[in-house]
Amino acid sequence: VTSSDQWDPDQYHRFRAERSRPFFDLVSLIERDRTPLLGPSVVDLGCGTGELTAEAHRMLDARVTVGIDSSAAMLEQAVVHASPRLTFEAGDLAAYPGDGVSPVDIVISNAAMQWVPDHETVLARWADALTEHGQLAVQVPGNVDHASHVVAAAVAAEPAFEEAFAPSGGPPLDAVHHVLAPERYAEVLDELGFAAQQVRLQVYGHHLASTSEVVEWVKGTSLTRFQRVLEPADFDRFLVAYRTRLIETLGDHEPYFYAFKRILLWARR
């Protein structure tokens, strides 16, 4: 894992079962009777370690599936799922499809688009990548107003971390603003001319062993943006401050019920 790649597959997989539920809900939005008889071509953008890509490939009876991710550490684990009709590539989901890429029947992206800005433009590019009756299925977290995020931003802005974040130009907070309101996604899909759409806000309730398990959860995802720019000792210090403040805010519960909002988008051309 290099400094530009803080994805840690083991940390991410600590909550594998909880994280896969929205993926299955997302895939179930795809209209199977609209896909080509020989099976659809599928791309999974921000595919991570690929086991869910393999699930989608199987569930959709795909003719070919390509998983694309920018993290070498995640892709390294995806290789075990590869087959002649299911392949994995390094790439930037925001730049998809790029020049010379053939149109695909289904674009899936689960819990990945929140890492890039300008979702209007990204969704327009993905819409252009679709075949005539192609479908788009995208899930992003919609919980930036939850204490797990709000407290991280507040701790990062504390004077105690000013020096630590200085070399990278300040705490990396803009990423939390990338996700749009559900109704804005609906408008964007309409503006892009999709014939049918569904946009849904869903709360996934997760029973974690304790409040401090929330730290373990976000360490595998949203805190990686802090880890990427901090020295290891500063990141450890950040984690201690974050855990303390989070428990003060949420209370020290065993178990802790983590109510996690997610936005699921589906659209068909």
Q: Which residues lie near ligand SAM (CB under 6 A)?
A: 7, 19, 23, 46-48, 52, 69-71, 74, 92-94, 110-112, 115-116, 221
Tokens of 189: 């899909």
Distance in Å, CB of 259 to ligand SAM, minimum: 18
Smallest distance, ligand SAM to C-beta of residue 121, A: 13
Dihedral-angle region of residue 252 (phi above 0 means left; psi in -120 to 50 means alpha; beta otherwise): beta
How far apart (Å, rounded) are the C-alpha atoms in residues 204 and 19? 9
* Residue 146 backbone dihedrals phi, psi, to 5 degrees: -75, 150
Peptide bond into 97 cis (omega under 30): yes
Find out whether 153 and 226 touch, Cβ atoms under 8 Å: no
Q: How many residues does the chain have?
A: 269
With contact defined as beta carbons under 8 Å apart, do 88 and 82 qualify?
yes
Nearer to ligand SAM (CB atom), residue 104 or residue 116 = 116
Burial class (CB in 10 A: 0-12, 13-18, 19+), 51: middle
State the minimum distance, in angstroms, from the CB of residue 190 to ligand SAM: 25
Nearer to ligand SAM, 116 or 247 (CB): 116
Distance of closest approach, residue 82 Cβ to ligand SAM, in angstroms: 16
Between 135 and 161, CB nearer to ligand SAM: 135
Q: How far is the CB of 77 from ligand SAM (least distance, A)?
A: 10
